[in-house]
Amino acid sequence: MSQADLTMQGHSTGAMAPPTFSVPAKKMAMWLFIIADTATFAGCLVAYGFIRNSTPDWPRPFHSITNVALMTFILLTSSLTMLIGVKSAQKGDKAGAFRWTIFTAVLGIAFAVLHLREWMGMIGEGATLFHNPWGTPLFSSLFFSITGLHLLHVTGGVIALIAVGIRYRGGRYKADDLEITGLYWHFVDLVWMFVVPLVYLLNLAH
């Protein structure tokens, strides 16, 4: 067996160190990105909590949870469809993997559309990044910043899913690449699990 064969199989040949935690380099890079991005979102949410805690008469403008519940359902379902896509790819079912990946992207687009519809409703009521009709302008600034950052991640994820899905179907990318994109998509879902209670549910009008 040649040194190149050993390297391809992930064995240490002396010339190359074994991968960290036996995780391929590309996957490890995604995990490092996820850790860094977790710090970004945690920083935003902690700042939000700090400001909310220190601001008297914090507004509670949300009257309905229907839209955010539907968005949560769509995003959680998209994580399942992503898993099905990755499993299909690992079984060698290229058509199935592509179909489920694109379906995941479509769910991501549906999430983004619902999100934008909600934004337009709030903007229609006079809420902007620097103005809030229900009280302190800090509420609007934080709401649009945090949900905007998440929406940016969803948009990036949709683009990545479509691009990687097409390249996987064309044979340029492997099942591992689809799995790495899936990691990112699950992370976007994971962040939403914290955004919903902190930014929406705690600001529900009673």
| Contacting positions for another protein (CB under 8 A) | 21-23, 31, 34-35, 38-39, 42-43, 46, 49-51, 53-56, 65, 69, 72-73, 76-77, 79-80, 83-84, 87, 90-91, 183, 186-187, 189-190, 193-194, 196-198, 201-202, 204, 206
**Pair 51, 142: CB distance under 8 Å:** yes
Q: How far apart are CA 31 and CA 170, in angstroms?
A: 26
Q: Identify which of residues 17 and 206 has a Cβ nearer to another protein in the complex.
A: 206
Q: How far is the CB of 41 from another protein (least distance, A)?
A: 10
Closest CB to another protein among 143 and 187?
187
Question: Of 6, 16, 5, 32, whose CA–CA distance to 180 is shortest?
Answer: 32
Buried b (16+ CB within 10 A) or exposed e, 31-67: eeebeebeeebeebbeebeeebeeeeebbebbeeeee
Q: Which residue in 20, 11, 37, 181 sits closest to 104, CA to CA?
A: 181
Nearer to another protein, 80 or 120 (CB): 80
C-beta of 55: minimal distance to another protein in Å? 7
Nearer to another protein, 2 or 63 (CB): 63
119 vs 194 by CB, closer to another protein: 194
Q: How far is the CB of 181 from another protein (least distance, A)?
A: 12
**Alpha carbon distance 17, 180 (integer Å):** 22
Min separation Cβ 16 and another protein, Å: 19
CA–CA dist 148, 48 (Å, integer): 14
Supply the minimum distance, in Å, between the C-beta of residue 120 and another protein: 23
